[in-house]
Amino acid sequence: MIDYQTMRRDCLRIRNRIVDAIHRARSGHSGGSLSCVEVLWTLYSAVLRHRPREPRWADRDRFILSKGHAAPALYAVLAEKGFFDPAELATLRQAGSRLQGHPDMTKVPGVEMSTGSLGMGISAGVGMALGTRLAGRDSRVYVLVGDGELDEGQNWEALMSAAKFALDNLTVVVDRNGVQLDGTVDEVMPLGDLAGRLARFGLAVHECDGHDCRSIHEALLRAAGERGRPQAVVARTVKGKGVSFMEGQSAWHGKPISDEDYRIAKRELAGAEGGAK
Amino acid sequence: MTPPAGKPQRVVFGEALVELGASDPRVVVLDADVSSSTQTRLFASAFPRRFFNFGIAEANMVSAAAGLATCGFVPVVSTFALFLSLRAGEQVRAQVAYTGLNVKLVGGYAGLSDYADGASHQSVEDLAVLRAIPNLAVVAPSDAVEMRQALRAAVAHDGPVFLRVSREAVGEDYDPATHPFRLGRGIVLREGADVTFVATGTMVRLAREAAEALQREGVSAGVIDLHTVKPLDEDLLVRAANATGAIVTVEEHSVLGGLGSAVCETLCARRPVPVVRCGIPDRFGESGAYGEILARAGLDVGSLCRAARQAVERKGAR
C-alpha cells in the first residue's frame, strides 16, 4: 500500500529541487516552501484524485496553494507527478517561463487557482466546494494556508461561509510553521489557540506532525470522514525544514540563496538522504 | 434631466436575471446581504439552490465566485458597485481578472443613484479602478432595454465582465427589436455636425435631452451611447472626432479615470480634438435629492449645453 519510507525519500528529492530552483532564480521563498513539502507530497501521492495527463479532468479533487509564495514546492511536486517536465523547474521566475514567482492557473498544468496575494485561497476553495457539490460530483477540495497568512480577515469570512454552507467536501490545511516575514507569528500577530479558534468557527479540527507523511495522511483521512462540516488540519511544521541555517528563521522567508549557502544546503540534504535510506 | 418613467434599473436587472436563470442552468448568483436592494432576491426565490448569500463579506464572495467559475458555472456576483470595485477590488483583480475566469460582476447603486445615503455609498470611482485592470470588460447600460441585452451579452461572453447598474428608474428608451447592442461597440443615437456627446450609462438620456436643447439654439450635436467603457470603441470615437471636431463626455462618475479619461486617452493618440468632460468633480458626493445632487455635480441639461458650446468654441483655437 502506501510506503511512507519511500515518500520520505521523495520529499528529500523535492527539497533538493526546491533549493536548486530558488538558488538558480536568485530569488524565491525557501522557508515556506520547505515547510510544506510533506503536506504537499502526501496530498498528491496518497489523497488527491488527479490525472497529470488530464489536468482538467472533471471528477478530480482540487488543491489550492493559498500561500502562493510556496510555489517552488508546488511546482516541484507537480513536476514529480508528471504534470510537466522537471527540467522546467530551472526556469523558475525567468521572463517567459510558465513558472511565475507565484502560481498562475492559466499557465501551469495542475495549478487550480492563481494565488500570491494572501488570504484568498480558502474563499476560492469555498466556491469550488459549492460548485462540485452543485454539479453533483463527489470531488474534494483542499486548501493549504500559512499560519501567518491567517492574519488576513478574509480567511475568517471564508471559514464562516464554509460552515454556513456545511461544506464537508472542503479541508483547510494550516502550515503551522510559526514564522512569518517580519518575525514569529507570536510576535507579529499571535494566533493564540488556533485549533480552538478554528473549532469555534465551525470546523472539525485535526492535528498532525507536518513532516511525517503517515501522521499527515492519517489526519487527512480522519478529516475526509467528517460529515456536515468543513475540516481543518493543523500541520505542525518547521519553516525552512531540512536546511539547518534556514530552520525557524524569518530571515529565510524570502532571501535569495547565495552560492555559499547553496553548497552548505546541498551538503546537508545529501547527508539527510543517507539517513533516509 | 426629465426623470424616466420606467422601473428602477436594478429591478430590470433582477427580473432579467430570473429569465436568464430559467434558460441557462450554469447561472448561479451570489450576493452580500443586499439582495433585497440589488433585486437578486428575485433569483433567490426562483432558484434557491443556485443562490448564495455570503453576508456582508464582499471579498470572500468575489473569491468564491472565482472558485465556482472553475467548476463550469457562470457566477453573477451582485452587491453595490462601491464595495465590488473597492472593498473587493483586489479579489476582482487577482482571482477574476488575472485568471480570466468567467465571472460576471454586477455593481448596483452606481454613481450618485444611492443619493440619500451620501458619499459613503455613492460609487464614483468604480469605472476608473476597474478600467485599469487587464482582461475585464466594463459596461454601463443606459436604459431598461440595454440592461437586459447587456446582461445577456455578458453571460454569453466567455470571460470577466463588470456591469454597472443604477438604483433608480430608467426608461424603455430603445426598441429591443432593433437596438444593436454588442459588447465593445458604441451606438450612434444621433448624428451631429458641430459637436458629439459621448455618454455612458444613465447619462445617455441626459445627453439626448441636451442635444435636443442645443438644436433649438442652432447647434447640431450628435449623441453616442458608449455603454462599453472597456474595451473602448476607438474607431467610433475617431469617426465622431472627424465628423464634428469636438467631443463632450458625460458620465455619472468622477471626471478622473472614467469614460472621459478613456476618451481623452484615445483621441490624444489618434485624433486630437477639444474634449470637455462632464462628470462628478474631484470631490466626494453628498446626500440630497437625486436630481439636485446631479445638478450640483454639473450633470444637468444646462451644464451639458454649456460644455458643448465650450467645446465648439475651442475648435481651431490654439
Mapping DSSP to helix (H, G, I), strand (E, B) and coil, where does residue A137 land? Answer: coil
Contacts of A116 in chain B (CB under 8 A): 94
Do B153 and B242 belong to one domain? Answer: no
Looking at the complex, report in whole angstroms how far the Cα of residue A168 sits from the nearest Cα belonging to chain B: 16
pLDDT of residue B316 exceeding 90: no
A123 CB neighbours in chain B (<8 A) are 59-64, 67, 91
Which chain B residue has its CA at the smallest distance from A164's CA? B54
**Residue A56: partners with Cβ closer than 8 Å, 6 or more residues away:** none
pLDDT at B281 over 90: yes
Same domain, B130 and B273: no
Interface of A with B (CB under 8 A): 62, 104-106, 112-117, 120, 123-132, 134-135, 154, 157-158, 160-161, 164-165
C-alpha cell at A214: 503517515
d(CA A260, CA A34): 19
CA distance B8 to chain A (A): 31
8 A C-beta contact, residue B144 and residue B6: yes
For chain A, the residue count is 277
B70 domain residue, yes or no: yes
Mean confidence (pLDDT) of chain B: 97
Q: What local confidence, expressed as pLDDT, does residue B2 receive?
A: 84
The pTM (predicted TM-score) of the whole model is 0.97
- Residues B160, B191 within the same domain: no
Cell of residue B273, nine digits:
480634438
CA distance A276 to chain B (A): 39
Which tens digits make up the pLDDT trace of B156-202?
A: 999 999 999 999 999 999 999 998 799 999 999 999 999 999 999 99
Q: Say whether both B205 and B84 belong to one domain.
A: no
Provide the residue range defining the domain that includes A112. 4-276
Helices (H), chain A: 4-25, 30-34, 37-42, 71-81, 121-134, 153-164, 185-188, 194-200, 213-224, 259-276
Q: Could you give the CA distance from residue B314 to residue B248 in angstroms, rounded to a whole number?
A: 12
CATH number at residue B203: 3.40.50.920
Whether residue B218 is found in the same domain as residue B97: no
Cα separation values, B126 from A41, A152, B227, Å: 43, 24, 15
Residue of A nearest to B28 (CA): A131
CATH number at residue B50: 3.40.50.970
pLDDT tens per residue across span A89-124:
999 999 999 999 999 999 999 999 999 999 999 999
Pairing relation of β-strands B161-164 and B104-108? Answer: parallel
* β-bridge mates for residue A207, sequence order: A234
B20 and B147 both lie in a single domain: yes
Sole residue written with cell 510556496: A70
Structure confidence by residue, pLDDT tens digits, A158-182: 999 999 999 999 999 999 999 999 9
CB B106 within 8 A of CB B138: no
B60–A157 CB contact, under 8 Å: yes
pLDDT band at A271 (very low <50, low <70, confident <90, very high): confident
Which residues of chain A neighbour B59 with C-beta distances below 8 Å?
120, 123, 154, 157
Q: How many CB atoms lie within 10 A of CB B292?
A: 12
Query: What residues have CB less than 8 Å from A43, skipping those under 6 apart?
Result: A63, A142, A144, A173, A220
Is some CB atom of chain A closer than 8 A to the CB atom of B158? no
Is B116 among the domain residues? yes
Beta-strand ranges (E) seen in B180-231 are 187-190, 195-199, 221-225, 228-230
Least Cα separation, residue B72 to chain A (angstroms): 8
Q: Which residues of A touch B91 (CB under 8 A)?
A: 120, 123, 154
**Which residues of chain B are within 8 Å of residue A106 when distances are taken between CB atoms?**
99-100
Tell me which amino acid residue A242 is: G
Q: What is the pLDDT of residue A194?
A: 98
Do B207 and B285 fall into the same domain? yes
Residue type at A46 in one-letter notation: A
Position B43 in a domain:
yes
**Residue B314 C-alpha from the chain's centroid:** 28
Query: What's chain A's average pLDDT?
Result: 97
Kindly report the CATH number assigned to the domain that includes residue A213: 3.40.50.970
Q: Is residue B25 part of a domain?
A: yes
Residue A277 has pLDDT above 80, yes or no: no
Closest by CA position to A239, among listed A167, A179, A151, A174:
A179
Which B residues 38-97 touch A at CB under 8 Å? 49-50, 52, 54-55, 57, 59-73, 75, 90-91, 94-95
Query: Among residues B152, B254, B161, B167, which one has the least CA distance to residue B202?
Result: B167
ipTM over cut 0.95: yes
C-alpha cell at A266: 546541498
Residues B194 and B159 in one domain: no
Per-residue CA distances from B132 to B92, B231, B260, B262 (Å): 12, 11, 14, 10
- Is B180 domain-assigned? no
Amino acid at A76: A
Same domain, B21 and B150: yes
Q: Which of A82-86, B122-126, B172-176, B301-305 has the lowest mean pLDDT?
A: B172-176
- The pLDDT value recorded for residue B263 is 98
Contact A126 B60 (CB under 8 A): yes
Q: Which residues contact B313 (CB under 8 A, 6 or more apart)?
A: none
Q: How far is B306 from chain A (nearest CA, A)?
A: 47
**Domains in chain B: how many in total?**
2
Average pLDDT over residues B96-100: 98
Same domain flag for B133 and B201: no
**A191-194: long-range contacts (C-beta < 8 A, 24 or more apart)?**
A191/A147, A191/A150, A194/A147, A194/A150, A194/A234
Helix (H) / strand (E) element for B280: namely strand B275-280
User: Which chain A residue's Cα is nearest to B97?
Assistant: A114
Say what the pLDDT of residue B5 is.
Answer: 87
Domain that holds residue B160: 9-164
Is B51 part of any domain?
yes
The nearest CA of chain A is from the CA of B175 a distance in Å of 38
Higher confidence at residue A2 or residue A25?
A: A25
How many independent structural domains does chain A possess? 1
What is residue B185's DSSP assignment?
B
Distance, first Cα to last Cα, chain A: 19
Question: How large a percentage of chain A has pLDDT more than 90?
Answer: 97
- Residue in A with minimal Cα distance to B60: A123
Residue B176 falls inside a structural domain: no
Q: What is the pLDDT of residue A154?
A: 98
CB contacts, 8 Å: B72 with chain A: 131, 135
Neighboring chain B residues of A66 at a CB cutoff of 8 Å: none
Q: For residues A264-270, give the mean pLDDT.
A: 96
Residue B261, all three cell numbers: 479619461
Residues of chain B with pLDDT > 70, as a percent, come to 100
Single-letter residue type at B306 = R
pLDDT of residue A55: 97
Residues of chain B with Cβ-Cβ distance to A105 below 8 Å are 99
Residue A128 is placed in which grid cell? 469550488
- Long-range contacts of residues A85-92, Cβ cutoff 8 Å, at least 24 apart: A86/A17, A89/A17, A89/A20, A89/A21, A90/A20, A90/A21, A90/A24, A92/A21, A92/A22, A92/A24, A92/A25, A92/A28
Phi and psi at residue A81, to the nearest 5°: -85, -5
Whether A206 has a pLDDT exceeding 80, the answer reads: yes
Q: Is B42 within a domain?
A: yes
Say if residue B47's pLDDT is above 50: yes
Contact A162/A133 with Cβ under 8 angstroms?
A: no
> Of B168, B96, B79, whose CA–CA distance to B130 is shortest?
B96
| Contact yes or no for A160 and B94 at CB 8 A | no
The pairing of beta strand B104-108 with beta strand B51-53:
unpaired
B298-311 pLDDT tens trace: 999 999 999 999 99
What's the pLDDT at A1?
Answer: 77
pLDDT in tens, A136-153: 999 999 999 999 999 999
Interval B232-240 mean pLDDT: 98
Confidence tier at A273 by pLDDT (50, 70, 90):
confident
Contact B51, B28 (CB under 8 A): yes
